[in-house]
Amino acid sequence: MPVSSPDPAGPRRRPARHGAARAEDWIHDVRERWARSRGHVPTVVPYTGYGSTEWVRVFCRVLLSKPIRPDDTSKRRRQRREQGIRGWRSFTSVPVGDVPVTIEVGGERIEVLADRGGVVDTKIPVRLEPGWNHVVLHTHGAEPVDAPIRVVGPDVDFGIISDVDDTVMVTALPRPFVAAWNTFVLDEHARSPTPGMAVLYERLARRHPGSPVIYLSTGAWNVAPTLTRFLSRNLYPAGPLLLTDWGPTHDRWFRSGREHKSDNLDRLAEEFPNVRWLMIGDDGQHDEELYAAFARNHPDNVAAIAIRELSPGEAVLAGGRTKSEQHGAEVPWVSASDGATLADRLSDVGML
């Protein structure tokens, strides 16, 4: 099968990098040499992707990790390949940047380049049937792994976009500590699902068969395997996670979480112009503001907006709550403190 380059015109000149990014790259280079000297090998961590019948968006990350021992059982080897690098090790493992990753999908074999953080986020033209498909990912020195892909059929006109923290899971922590606590202290067994939300999502999925469920969060790609296991364990519908990467970019100290969400919302509207989204979030961050802006800019792409109201204690830990009466969006807008009441409110506006 032919191998194609993501840039047939040849390598492009990189933009000038921020000093913090240069420092981070230097640290990664030192850590990579040290890890390789200890026998660590590349590992491709697969993430769930999505697409249409004509293209797919593929996600993965390349990290260095200890090799699987020859005496590991086949079951343990399969679990390592499927789950990737777990917990806090996903943050301490060394990313391998600027390495080629081969993607095999739909009879095509395509080579792309991971970014400086080892992340692959690429869109590939390919024809696939609606429903769940998979791609095979591998790089030199790593075992091939499968990544699931949710392909949205051309007749689908409804989907769900959901926030994660304080929407599908209860964090009950000050925002600056949420990511660190969830990553370094708790695992998916100890996290608390938001009451009634999994049942609400399942009811919506049954009411609208074939509709995608996309989880949009400002969390880091490092926590994707843990979040995926949490969603599965608590019976949330399976779907891709749209996460971001920690650390500096080429032009700023830190990535913007709001920009990450806004950009992906606009992208989904462009990729699925015929889909109307039920947008679910909470009133403790910027979800109301972002969703209202999206509804004003893309009114034909919003079916309704559902906001989980945080308790007074949760709102304090989240840094306050926004004012929903100021949203100004001309779409159905409901709010409640739990999934069961949100379901009742959504039934009132014809979503259930």
194 and 338 in a single domain? The answer is yes
Where is mean pLDDT largest: 45-54, 212-221, 239-248, 276-285?
Answer: 45-54
Tokens of 86: 């777990």
Highest averaged pLDDT of the listed ranges 71-85, 176-190, 217-231, 302-316: 217-231
**What's the whole-number mean pLDDT along residues 323-328?**
52
Q: Which helix (H) or strand (E) holds 76?
A: helix 74-83
Task: Between 171 and 111, name the one with better pLDDT.
Answer: 111
Q: Can you give the pLDDT at residue 304? A: 96
Domain termination site, one of 96, 128, 151? 151
The residue with greater pLDDT, 268 or 8, is 268
Phi, psi of 85 (to 5 degrees): -95, 125
Looking at 133, 151, 169, the residue that finishes a domain is 151
| Same domain assignment for residues 237 and 323 | yes
Residues 165, 126 within the same domain: no
Least confident segment among 133-137, 172-176, 203-207: 172-176
| Domain match, 256 and 342 both | yes
Averaged pLDDT, 259-263: 93
The least confident of 79-88, 137-146, 151-160 is: 79-88
- Residue 205 sits in a domain whose CATH number is 3.40.50.1000
Query: Do 219 and 246 sit in the same domain of this protein?
Result: yes
C-alpha 174/C-alpha 352 separation (Å) is 34
- Whole-number mean pLDDT of the chain? 79
DSSP class of residue 165 equals B
Is residue 37 domain-shared with residue 137, that is, in the same domain?
yes
Same domain, 226 and 309: yes
The pLDDT of residue 253: 42
Q: Using the predicted structure, report yes or no on whether residue 60 has a pLDDT greater than 70.
A: yes
How does DSSP assign 301-316, residue by residue?
Answer: GEEEEEEEPPPHHHHH
Q: Per the structure, how many domains does the chain have?
A: 2
pLDDT of the residue at 24: 55
**Poorest-pLDDT segment among 133-137, 243-247, 347-351:** 243-247
Co-location of 214 and 72 in the same domain: no
Res 21: pLDDT: 54
Please, which residues have CB within 8 angstroms of residue 180's CB and are 6 or more apart in sequence?
none
Of 151, 185, 210, which residue sits at a domain end? 151
95: left (phi over 0), alpha (psi -120 to 50) or beta: beta
In whole angstroms, give the CA distance from residue 272 to residue 160: 12
Domain that holds residue 239: 158-348
pLDDT digits (tens, 9 = 90+) for 101-142: 999 999 999 999 998 888 999 999 999 999 999 999 999 888
Question: pLDDT higher for 239 or 172?
Answer: 239
What is the model's pLDDT at position 17? 55
- Sorted by sequence, the CB contacts under 8 Å of residue 147 that are 6+ apart come out as 46, 47, 48, 49, 58, 59, 60, 134, 135, 136, 137
Give the amino acid at 348: D
pLDDT at residue number 272: 98
Same domain, 231 and 137: no
User: What percent of the chain lies above the pLDDT cut of 70?
Assistant: 67
To which residue do tokens 């075992």 refer?
A: 143
228 and 260 assigned to the same domain: yes
Look at residue 117 in the predicted model and tell me its pLDDT. 84
Can you give the pLDDT at residue 176?
A: 54
Let me know whether 8 and 109 are in one domain: yes
- The pLDDT score that the predictor gives to residue 100 is 95
* pLDDT of residue 351 exceeding 70: yes
β-pairing verdict for 213-220 and 192-193: unpaired
**Band (300; pLDDT cuts 50, 70, 90):** very high
CA dist 238 and 232 (Å) reads: 7
Report the SS3 class of residue 146.
Answer: strand
The predicted structure's pLDDT at residue 89:
55
| pLDDT above 90: percentage of residues in the chain | 51
Residues 120 and 240 placed together within one structural domain of the fold: no
pLDDT digits (tens, 9 = 90+) for 178-202: 555 555 555 555 568 999 999 999 9
